[in-house]
Amino acid sequence: MGRDQQADQPFCEVYTLGLVPYADAWNLQKSWVSRHRQSPQPDRLLLVEHPPVYTLGQGSTTENLKFLESNPPHPLFRIERGGEVTHHCPGQLVGYPILDLKRHQTDLHWYLRQLEEVVIQTLATLGIHATRQPGLTGVWVGDTKLAAIGIKVSRWITMHGFALNVCPDLAGFEAIIPCGIADKAVGSVAQFCPGITVAEVVPLVKQSFSEVFSLRLVEAPHPE
């Protein structure tokens, strides 16, 4: 795409903040969503890693926890997104798009497939052939899940998003049944690209996100 074409594209602010406590990123998302209800806002993309944490979807069961809810090995949050329990930790790149789908398509299935496509295209640039699995959300290589997706959409404003396992310690997943799927493995990009880092993957995700959503990404300063 030429420079003139890029300039004509709608823009999206991107915030690349490194390691951020889960509660801080969650509160930032809620603040941005709230602003959309008050006045027009740009689309935004937050890219972070988290210290070890578990999150439960709004309607998820605690039966997928292998620990007592009252005594988790890492902080445990019940949040607004759909889906079951998942784990975040350093080495996992988490993307939280705050998009107004009225500017894109007001279709939740389309949006989920777009998020999967961002990850699939990112992995393709690394020579990894990733796919979808029928009836399941996320991105897979065979029966190994490399990326989880869980969203919340209110008045067509999105929050939460995708988590791509780049080079995390996967041991934390052993304390849960990830996404409620007991018969499939959780893997990482590092299993296919030894030595890879989150810093190397961030620009690839930005490029894929820009192309999939037809948005011109604008690097933004640290949010207030």
Q: What is the pLDDT of residue 6?
A: 54
Q: Residue 41 has what pLDDT?
A: 95
Strand partners, 64: none
Q: What are the respective helix, strand and coil percentages of the chain, to the nearest 5?
A: 35, 30, 35
User: Based on the number of CB atoms within 10 Å of its own CB, is 180 exposed (0-12), middle (13-18) or buried (19 or more)?
Assistant: middle
What is the number of residues in the chain?
224
Element (H, E) at 88: strand 86-88
> Catalytic residues, which ones?
179
Domains assigned to the chain: 8-213 (3.30.930.10)
Tell me if the pTM is above 0.85. Answer: yes
Q: Which residues pair with 15 in a beta bridge?
A: 46
pLDDT by residue for the chain (224 residues), tens digit each? Answer: 444 445 567 999 999 999 999 999 999 999 999 999 999 999 999 999 999 999 999 989 999 999 999 999 999 999 999 999 999 999 999 999 999 999 999 999 999 999 999 999 999 999 999 999 999 999 999 999 999 999 999 999 999 999 999 999 999 999 999 999 988 999 999 999 999 999 999 999 999 999 999 999 999 987 86
The whole-number pLDDT of residue 5 equals: 46
* Start-to-end Cα distance in the chain: 33
Per-residue DSSP letters for 97-133? EE-BGGGS-S-HHHHHHHHHHHHHHHHHHTT---B--
